[in-house]
Structure 1
Amino acid sequence: MNTNGRGRLTRGCWRGGRGGLILWCFLSVLPSAVGAAPHSDATQECLACHVDATPGIVSDWQRSRHAETTPADALQAAPLHRKVSSEEIPQSLQGTSVGCAECHTLNPQDHKDTVEHNGYSMHVVVTPRDCRTCHRQEADQYGENIMAHAYGNLVNNSLYVQLTESINGIQVLESGRLKTAEVHPQTNDDACLSCHGTRVEVQGTVSRETDLGEMDFPVLTGWPNVGVGRLNPDGSKGSCSSCHARHAFSIEVARKPDTCSQCHKGPDVPAYKVYQVSKHGNIYASQKDKWNFRNVPWVVGKDFNAPTCAACHVSLLVDEGGNVVAQRTHRMNDRLPWRIFGLIYSHAHPKNPDTSSIRNAQGLALPTNLDGSPVKEALIDGEEQERRRANLHAVCLGCHSTSWVEGHWDRFQKTLEETNRMTRTATEIMGRAWERGIARGPGSDGNPFDEPMEKLWVEQWLFFANSIRFSSAMMGSDYGVFDNGRWYQSKGLREMMRRLEMGRPGARDDEKP
C-alpha cells in the first residue's frame, strides 16, 4: 500500500507492522507531527519502517529544516536569507521535503554502495556530491578546501605516513630492543583517519533478516566515518556531516565550537582548549543560551556577541543594518593568511589544497625547508595573504576598534616569528643528532619520528609551538605559557641539547625491523 505523501499508511508498514506499530506508523508520518512540508511517497515509506527500526534517526530528521520545508520554498527566500545556493534544483525534488529517499536514493548510478532495498536503489553513504544538488556553492568551495583533501594529504605523504606509523604502530620488546609492528588499517581508521577521513570502499554485500524479510546491505571498509577528507563510494571527497551532524544537518550544531572540538582539541590542534580559556570562550559559555544560532544571516551583536569558530571562519555575517560583514564560505582558509598547525613551521597557506605533491629543497613533501624558509612557489603570495587578513579583520572589527585589532595581529605575527625560531633551534639540534648517528633522519633507512630524541623534536613543533600560536591567535595566552606552551618548549629544547651532548653514534633505543 503506497501513500499519497500526506500521511496514509505505507506498504512497508503493512508488511512489517506488529500490533500497535501500525497505529504508531500512521501517527508518526503525519505532516502535522513533523513539519509543514509534504513528504514524498518514497520518504513516507522509509519513515513507516524506520520510525521503529531507527527511531533516533527519524526523530533527528523530524526536527530538521529538511523536514520542515521544500526546496521550492527555500528558493523563494531573499538572497541573504537563503539556505540553498543552487539556482536550479530538479523539479522532481522541489515540491516535497528533503527526506530519506531524497538523499539516500539520489544519484544511485554514481554510488558503488547502491543496493536494492525494499524496491528502491538505495545507497548508505550520502556525500557532498549528493548535497551539491541544493548546496552547490558550499560543496564546490569545500572541494577546494584543505579539509577535503585531508585523507590524501596524510596517506600520500611518505613523511606523514612515517609519523603515523611511529604513533599507531604496536611496539613489542624483542631481544632487548623495541620494535614497531606494521599498523593495522583499522587502527589508522580509529586514530588519525577518524578526523582526516577514511577510504570507504564496498567489499560486497551481506544478507540480514529484517521485519520485511531478508535484505541485502553493502559491506563497507573504512565505515563508519565522518572525517573531513573521507573518500566516498561515489568518488567525492569529504563529509558534510563532519560539521552538520546527521540527520538534522543543523546550522546550530555547526556554529557551536563544541562541534569543532571533535578534531581541534589538542595537543596538536588545541583550538578548542584555547577557545575555552579565552575571553570569547568565557562569554560563549556564560551567554550562549541567549544567542540565536539558527538565524541566517547571522547578525553580529544581535544573534551573538562573541565569536565562535564558525563566526570567524565560515558563517555569513551581517550587522544590524543588514550590511555584509563577511560572506559565507566553506573554504576554511578564505579568512586565514597563515597555516599555523600540524607542520614543522607556520607558513603562508598552500595554493593547492592537495599538499602531498609539494617538495622542499631536501626533497621532502613539506611546504617549508628544514631551516624554516618557505617553498615559495607552493604558497600564496603576500597580496593574497593580505586579502585574507582583511577578510578576518572585518569579522574582528564587528566588535573591536581598529587599534585593538591591529595590535592583536601584530602580537600574533611576532608569535609566529618566535615559535618558528624556537622550532628552528630544535631542528638544528635534531640535525646534528642525525649527522652523528644518534638517530636516523630523513634520507636514512629509519623513521625520523620514532626514536626518543626525535619524539622530543616532534613535541617541539607539533604540540608546544602549535599551542603557543593558537593561544596568541585566539587570545588564550595562559594556555600558551605553562599548560602546553612556552615552558615546555624551553624545557624540551634543554632536554634535546642534553641528549645531544650525551649521545654517541649508534646509541638508538628504538629500531624498526
Structure 2
Amino acid sequence: MPLLRTLTCVLALVAALALPALAAPQAPLSEATQACLDCHNDATPGIVADWRRGRMSQKTPAQALQEPEAARRVSAKKVPADLMLVAVGCAECHTGDAKAHADSFDHGGYQVHPVVTPADCARCHPQEREQYSHNLMAHARGNLINNPIYMDLALQVNGVPKVEGGKAVLTPPSALAEAESCLYCHGTEIKVEGKLTRDTGDFGEMEFPKLSGWPNRGVGRKNPDGTLGSCSACHTRHQFAIEMARSPYTCSECHKGPDVPVYKVYQVSKHGNIYYAMHKQWDMAKVPWTPGKDFTAPTCAACHVSLLSDAGGNVIAQRTHQMTDRLWVRLLGLIYAHPQPKSPETWKITNANGRTLATTLTGQPAAKFLIDAHEQKARQERMAKVCGACHAQGWVQGQFARLDQTVKDSDAMVLAATRLMMEAWQKGLAQGPPKASPFDEYVEMLWTRQWLFYANSTRFASAMMGADMGVFDNGRWDMNKTVRHLEDWIKVHQKP
C-alpha cells in the first residue's frame, strides 16, 4: 500500500505539472468562433486542441502589433478592425471575404469556406504573402503542368503500363493518382464540383461543397479563390507553429529524394548531426533568431527564410518567404545546374532550341530568363552572411569554391552522358525528341537518372556538406557508372 500511495502521488504531481502547458491563456473569442467551437469541440476535438496550443489562440492581433518590430510575427501595419481584439480562430480564417471563395457554403448560420488560402492569411501577414507569390514554390503546380517536357516525364512515372502484343503501353494516370504523386507536393487545383449531403452523426445530415483536388496542401496549390499556394504546407494546421516551419522534418515531406535529396543530405551533414543531437536545447520559437544563442546549427529555415540577428540585435539576414533571395545557382537542374530564374514561372522559359528548359541538351543556358552575374553575387553575399554567423570568412569562401567546382564537374558528367544519349538517338537505337519521348525507353531512363538523381545528389551534397551523398550514395560513383553503362549499351545495340 505505501508503494501504491507513492505511485499515486507521483502521477498526480506529473499531471499537475503538465496542466499549465495544456491550459495556455486564451485570448477573447469572437461570437462566430465560439459558435464553431461549441460544435467542433465534439466533432473534431483534435483540431480544436491543436488550435488551442497555438499562438493565434492566445494573442489578439492588437497584442501582436504591440511587440517590438524585430520580434513581431505579423507584417501588417494595420489589421481589419473586426480581427483586432479577438483570437484568430475558426471564423477569422474560414469565413472572411466569403464572396471571393467559390467553396463558401452556409454552415451553422455562417458562410464558411473549407480551403483557407494565402489571401486569408494576408490580412495579418501581407508581406509574407507577397514574398511567397514570387517564390518558385507558389508556382510549382503551374511550372509542372504547363511544361510539356515535365509532364512527359510525369507520364512515364505515373502511367500504368499494360502489355499489348508483347509491348508495354502506358495508360494515362487518373486524376487521383496524380494528386497522390507529383501534385501532392506541387499542388492540385481545387474546384467546386457541386454540393453533397453527408450524415455527420450526432449533428445529422448537412450539405457541403463537393471539392475535386481535395485534400491537398501542396506548395503551388490553386485555390478556389484563385490564389496560389498553401501556407499550411510549412506552418501545418491548426497550431501553425513557427517551430514546425523551422524544423527540417517539415521540409523533408517534399525534399527527401532521390530527385531532391536535401533532407537525406542534411541528415548526414555536420549541421544535421548537431541538430539531431542538440535541438531539444534550442529555442525554435524565438524571433528574431540568433545563431549561437537560440540555435547552434542551421536548419533549412535558417539558411533560406528566417530573420537572423546577432547578439547585439544587428540583422544578419532579413526574413523572406521568397526563399531564392539567398540562392544564386539552381542545383536542381533540368538538365544542368544554372543561375536561378528571374521569374518564378519557369514554364515560360524557352531555350535556344525552343524547348521549355533553362538550358539546351548540351548545357547552353537560356540567359535572358536567368539572373545575371551581378544578382548572383548579391545573393551569394546574403548567404555568406548567414554562414558567417558561425564560420570564418576563409571557411565560407572555401566551401563556396568547392560547390562551384562540384557544379562544373557534375555538369561535365551530365554532358558526357547526354552526348552518348544523343548518339543513340542519332543512330536510331532509341527514339527521342522531337518526334518521341526522351524518357520512355530503358536507355533513356539510364540517362534520366544521371541528372535527375545522381547529379542532383552530388550538387546538394556539396552545398550542404553531406559528403557521402556525393560519392557512393547516388553520387559521383553512379554518375561515372552511368556513362560507362550508356557507352556499353550503345556498343551492344549497334548493328554489326
Q: Which category describes the TM-score, using the shorter chain as reference length?
A: over 0.9
AA of the residue aligned to 2:454: F
1:7 corresponds to which residue?
Answer: none
Deviation readout 1:273-331 (Å, 9 max, x if unpaired): 00000000000000001000011111111110100000000000011111111000000
1:484 corresponds to which residue?
Answer: 474
2:389 corresponds to which residue?
Answer: 398
1:215 corresponds to which residue?
Answer: 206
AA of the residue aligned to 1:327: Q
User: Superposition pairs for residues 296-311 of structure 1, below 5 Å?
Assistant: 296-311=287-302
Task: Report the alpha carbon displacement of residue 504 of structure 1 after superposing the two structures with TM.
Answer: 4.2
User: Superposition pairs for residues 85-100 of structure 1, below 5 Å?
Assistant: 85-100=75-90
1:75 corresponds to which residue?
Answer: 65
Which of 140, 145, 148 is the aligned partner of 1:155? 145
Deviation readout 1:34-85 (Å, 9 max, x if unpaired): 5231011111111111111111100110000110000011111111000000
Which of 473, 485, 488 is the aligned partner of 1:495? 485
Distance 2:41 2:25 in 1: 16
- State which drifts further: 374-383 or 334-343: 334-343
Distance 2:237 2:169 in 1: 41
Which of 268, 285, 288 is the aligned partner of 2:279? 288
Q: Is the 1:166–1:447 contact (alpha carbons within 8 Å) kept by the matching residues of 2? A: no
Which of 370, 373, 384 is the aligned partner of 2:364? 373
Q: Is the 1:127–1:240 contact (alpha carbons within 8 Å) kept by the matching residues of 2? A: yes
2:216 corresponds to which residue?
Answer: 225
Distance 1:174 1:199 in 2: 33
Distance 1:264 1:342 in 2: 15
1:472 corresponds to which residue?
Answer: 462
* SS at structure 2 position matched to 1:204: strand
Task: Report the alpha carbon displacement of residue 441 of structure 1 after superposing the two structures with TM.
Answer: 1.6
Note if 1:327 corresponds to 2:318.
Answer: yes
Distance 1:228 1:265 in 2: 15
User: Superposition pairs for residues 95-174 of structure 1, below 5 Å?
Assistant: 95-174=85-164
Note if 1:385 corresponds to 2:385.
Answer: no
Q: Is the 1:144–1:331 contact (alpha carbons within 8 Å) kept by the matching residues of 2? A: yes
Deviation readout 1:94-116 (Å, 9 max, x if unpaired): 00000000000011111111100
2:306 corresponds to which residue?
Answer: 315
Distance 2:453 2:29 in 1: 50
Note if 1:409 corresponds to 2:400.
Answer: yes
Distance 1:342 1:207 in 2: 47
TM-score, normalised on structure 1?
Answer: 0.91
Q: Is the 1:132–1:139 contact (alpha carbons within 8 Å) kept by the matching residues of 2? A: yes
Task: Report the alpha carbon displacement of residue 185 of structure 1 after superposing the two structures with TM.
Answer: 1.3
2:448 corresponds to which residue?
Answer: 458
Note if 1:182 corresponds to 2:178.
Answer: no
* SS at structure 2 position matched to 1:482: coil
AA of the residue aligned to 1:128: P
Which of 223, 226, 241 is the aligned partner of 1:235? 226
- State which drifts further: 44-53 or 205-214: 205-214
* SS at structure 2 position matched to 1:293: coil
Number of residues paired by the alignment? Answer: 473
Q: Is the 2:26–2:52 contact (alpha carbons within 8 Å) kept by the matching residues of 1? A: no
Distance 2:231 2:375 in 1: 27
Note if 1:275 corresponds to 2:266.
Answer: yes
2:343 corresponds to which residue?
Answer: 352
Structure 1 residues not aligned, in runs of 5+: 1-31, 506-513
AA of the residue aligned to 1:349: Q
Task: Report the alpha carbon displacement of residue 503 of structure 1 after superposing the two structures with TM.
Answer: 2.1
Distance 1:434 1:167 in 2: 21
Q: Is the 2:458–2:470 contact (alpha carbons within 8 Å) kept by the matching residues of 1? A: yes
RMSD of aligned C-alpha atoms? Answer: 1.1
Task: Report the alpha carbon displacement of residue 342 of structure 1 after superposing the two structures with TM.
Answer: 4.9
Distance 1:440 1:95 in 2: 65
Distance 1:453 1:269 in 2: 22
Q: Is the 2:65–2:72 contact (alpha carbons within 8 Å) kept by the matching residues of 1? A: yes
Task: Report the alpha carbon displacement of residue 438 of structure 1 after superposing the two structures with TM.
Answer: 1.6
Q: Is the 1:34–1:67 contact (alpha carbons within 8 Å) kept by the matching residues of 2? A: no
Q: Is the 2:247–2:301 contact (alpha carbons within 8 Å) kept by the matching residues of 1? A: yes
Deviation readout 1:239-296 (Å, 9 max, x if unpaired): 0011000001110000010000000001000000000000000000000010000111
Distance 1:228 1:343 in 2: 20
Q: Is the 1:268–1:342 contact (alpha carbons within 8 Å) kept by the matching residues of 2? A: no
Deviation readout 1:118-177 (Å, 9 max, x if unpaired): 100000000011100100000000000010000010000000000000111001111111
Structure 2 residues not aligned, in runs of 5+: 1-21
Distance 1:437 1:165 in 2: 23
Deviation readout 1:418-450 (Å, 9 max, x if unpaired): 101111111111111111122222211x22111
